[in-house]
Amino acid sequence: MFVVESVCVAWFTLEFLLRFVNAPSKLAFARGPLNVIDAIAILPYYVSLVFDVGEEAQDEAVMGAGRGYLDKLSLILRLLRALRILYVMRLARHSLGLQTLGVTMQRSMREFGLLLLFVCVAVALFSPLVHLAESELAPFAAAHPQHSFSSIPASYWWAIISMTTVGYGDMVPRSVPGQMVALISILSGILIMAFPATSIFHTFSRSYQELKQEYERVWKQERHEEMSDFSQEDFSSASKKESDGNISGTSSVSLKHPIPLQ
């Protein structure tokens, strides 16, 4: 796996450097989000190599003391290795769907903000209600301690999971008032999640069509340039053949009809 990763990282590094050298604007290239992701995905490999060499040298030099510093270095190394999962994000450069997803998230920040606001308000509303229903209205309804709603902040987790219709079942209301609050919160969650979803879906569809048309336009332009280059090459070769034919014809005519010497 180390050899495979080394070959892949070497290829990614060569590609990144070639694109950086050929970029007309180095600053615009450095600010590109996909280029930043590429750099973050490539750098942990080289940093981990440096840390591995340095850690081996320090292990040989320091036998008993300084283990806290080495532990911190190993923690940083593990975090950097976890960043290698960003290799998958390189597919966004070649995938129309992932590019559409990124453009949609960029254009729908206001809708996502409204969705987060609605969810936060609903969580702040239903968490005290379910805690009141389970702890005050029916204090002996929760037979198991792990299912009890001990506090309002502990009820936030239940409200989020219930409103997003995930329902892990780790916290379940046992009383009838608590179940009524749970029913209302689940229905409210479905409606709250559905409100901004329509606008986000339309933005995704519009972004997909725009990117698809842009891809088709670029492909047609490249195809037209290739056809024009091919036609120019054919025209130049034909003109060269014609000029060669004219020269040969002129020479044959001059051989058949020599000019008399004066």
Grouping H, G, I as helix, E, B as strand and the rest as coil, residue 64 is coil
**111 shares its domain with 41:** no
Greater confidence (56 vs 90) lies with 90
**Whether residues 131 and 87 fall in one domain:** no
In a domain, 246, yes or no: no
Beta strands in the chain (DSSP E): none
Are both 192 and 102 inside the same structural domain? yes
| Domain C-terminal end among 175, 200, 225 | 200
- Both tokens assigned to 241: 């053949």
Is residue 19 a part of any domain in this protein? Answer: yes
The residue with greater pLDDT, 259 or 245, is 245
| Residue 155 identity | S
Q: Which of 146, 173, 200 is the last residue of a domain?
A: 200
Find out whether 102 and 92 touch, Cβ atoms under 8 Å: yes
Over residues 161-169, mean pLDDT: 85
Query: In this structure, what token pair is assigned to residue 48?
Result: 């981990």
194-241 residue pLDDT tens: 888 888 888 888 888 888 888 888 888 888 887 877 777 666 666 666
User: C-alpha distances in angstroms, 255 versus 73, 221, 241, 244, 245?
Assistant: 90, 51, 21, 17, 15
Domain membership of residue 26 as a residue range: 1-54+70-94
Mark whether 41 and 134 lie in a shared domain.
no
Do 125 and 167 fall into the same domain? yes
Residue type, 163: M
Q: Does one domain contain both 105 and 186?
A: yes
Q: Are 3 and 87 found together in one domain? A: yes
pLDDT above 90 as % of the chain: 9
Q: Are 54 and 73 in contact (CB under 8 A)?
A: yes
Q: Do 104 and 19 reside in the same domain of the chain?
A: no
**What does pTM read for this prediction?**
0.57
CATH of the domain at 42: 1.20.120.350
Q: What is d(CA 23, CA 35) in angstroms, rounded to the nearest whole number?
A: 11
Domain count along the chain? 2
14-61: pLDDT as tens digits: 988 998 898 888 888 888 877 887 887 788 788 777 766 555 555 555
Task: Specify the length of the chain in residues.
Answer: 262
